[in-house]
Amino acid sequence: MSHEYRKDPAAISQLSPEQYRVTQEGGTEPAFDNAYWGNKEPGIYVDLVSGEPIFASVDKYDSGTGWPTFTKPIEPKNVVQVGDSSLGMSGIEVRSAHGDSHLGHVFDDGPAETGGLRYCMNSAALRFIRRDDLEREGYGEYRRLFEHPDGERSDDRHD
């Protein structure tokens, strides 16, 4: 299925002040005080501005940082990495490819067994779509991430 994702002015006009600050001005929300850092439900995370799929709960883990953290993007083509030294550390900024939203940062201190990356994201830049709502929301092709090869449902990993 082909989708056309883009920076949507209508979506931008609906952002809360915090969502605007994060996605459009490169801000960072408070640790441990955001919508998805503790979310363990199965589903996917999409860019709030463009709707492009960014991460899946099957790649989410508890990094202890207080932000939703993932080992890899669901669709690498939907993520752009840009050098960023604004935080006084060696993080690389992560932006959505089509929406040009600031999402967070990626670091090289993630779990070695999954590639060593830690994608530390802002909840304010994301919209969570539950596994059971994927078809209704137009993301049915990602249902496969939550099924075993034998067709049974897979629960999300629990941290």
| Residues labelled catalytic | 120
Residue among 125, 124, 117, 37 at smallest CA distance from 72: 117
Q: H or E element: which one contains 24?
A: helix 17-25
Would you call 18 helix, strand, or coil by DSSP? helix
In whole angstroms, give the CA distance from residue 48 to residue 64: 24
Q: Which residues pair with 92 in a beta bridge?
A: 83, 106
Residues for the chain: how many in total? 159
Residue 154 DSSP code: -
